[in-house]
Structure 1
Amino acid sequence: MPHTPNRRADREAEPRNLYDEVTRRIIAELEAGRLPWVQPWSNTVGAGPCAGLPRNAVSGRPYSGINVLILWGAVIEAGYPSQGWLTFRQAIAAGGSVRKGEHGTCVVYADRFTPEAEKTRAAQEGGEARAVPFLKRFTVFNTAQIDGLPEGLFAEPAPLPDREVEPIGECLITASGIDFRVGGSRAYYAPEADFVGVPPQPAFRDQINYYRTCFHELTHATGHASRLARNLKNAFGSKDYAREELVAEMGSAFLCASLGIVPTVRHADYIGAWLEVLHEDNRAIFRAASQASKAAEWLLARFADASDTMVEGRAAA
Structure 2
Amino acid sequence: MVETKTEAYRQSIYAEVTTRVIKELEEGRLPWVQPWDSAHCGCAMPHNAASKRIYSGINVLILWAAGIDKGYRSQAWLTYRQALAAGGNVRRGETGTIVCYADHFTPKDEEQRAREEGREAQQRAFLRRFTVFHVDQCEGLTDALIQPAMPLAQREMIARADALIAATGAEFRVGGPQAFYSPRGDFISVPHRQAFHDRINFYRTALHELGHWSGHRSRLDRDQTGIYGSADYAREELVAEMGCAFTCASLSIHPTVRHSDYIGAWLAVLREDERAIFRAASQASKAADYLLSHTPAEEWPS
- Scaled by the length of structure 2, what TM-score is found? 0.95
Distance 1:252 1:158, change over 3 A: farther
- Contact 1:65–1:289 under 8 Å retained in 2: yes
1:28 and 2:23 correspond: yes
Provide Cα deviations, 1:51-71, integer angstroms capped at 9, x if missing partner. 001000101110000000000
Query: Paired residue for 1:16?
Result: 11
| 3-state secondary structure, aligned to 2:4 | helix
Superposed CA offset, 1:108-132 (max 9, x none): 0102122344334323311221101
Taking the aligned partners of 2:11 and 2:170, their CA distance within structure 1 comes to: 38
Name the residue aligned to 2:225.
233
State the Cα deviation string for residues 269-293 of structure 1 (Å, max 9, x = none).
1111111111111011100000000
Of the structure 1 ranges 268-277 and 219-228, higher mean CA displacement relative to structure 2 is found in 268-277
Alignment of 1:232-251 (within 5 A): 232-251=224-243
Residue of structure 2 equivalent to 1:204 = 196
Aligned to 2:154: 162
- Note the alpha carbon deviations across 1:172-219, whole angstroms, 9 max, x for none: 111112212211110000000101110010001101000000000000
* Counterpart in the other structure of 2:294: 302
Contact residue 60 and residue 154 of structure 1 kept, 8 A: no
Counterparts in 2 of 1:1-317, with a 5 A limit?
Answer: 9-42=4-37, 48-304=40-296, 308=299
1:219-260 per-position Cα deviation (integer Å, ceiling 9, x unaligned): 001110000000000110111111111111110110011111
8 Å CA contact retained: 2:136, 2:146: no
CA distance in 2, matches of 1:277, 1:214: 26
CA separation in 1, counterparts of 2:157 and 2:67? 25
Are 1:51 and 1:157, in contact at CA under 8 Å, matched by a contact in 2? Answer: no
SS at match of 1:302: coil
**Structure 1 pair 61–135 and aligned structure 2 pair: CA distance change class (3 A):** same
Identity of aligned residues (%): 58
Contact 2:88/2:141, CA 8 A, preserved across alignment:
yes
TM-score normalised per structure 1 = 0.90
8 Å CA contact retained: 1:228, 1:295? yes
**Which sits farther off after the overlay, 241-250 or 111-120?**
111-120
Q: What amino acid does structure 2 have at the position aligned with 1:202?
A: Q
Query: Is the contact between residue 159 and residue 261 of structure 1 (CA under 8 Å) also seen in structure 2?
Result: no
Shift in alpha-carbon separation, 1:30–1:185, aligned structure 2, 3 A: same
C-alpha contact (below 8 Å) 2:157/2:252 kept by paired residues:
no
Q: Given that residues 158 and 260 in structure 1 are in contact (C-alpha distance below 8 angstroms), is that contact kept between their aligned partners in structure 2?
A: no
Q: Which runs of 5+ in 2 are unaligned?
A: none
Rounded Cα–Cα distance in structure 2 between residues aligned with 1:283 and 1:23: 7
Q: Is the 8 A contact 1:58 1:154 kept in 2?
A: no
1:54–1:85 CA contact under 8 A, matched in 2: yes
| C-alpha distance in 2 between matches for 1:52 and 1:157 | 9
Question: Which ranges in structure 1 are unaligned for 5 or more consecutive residues?
Answer: 1-5, 312-317
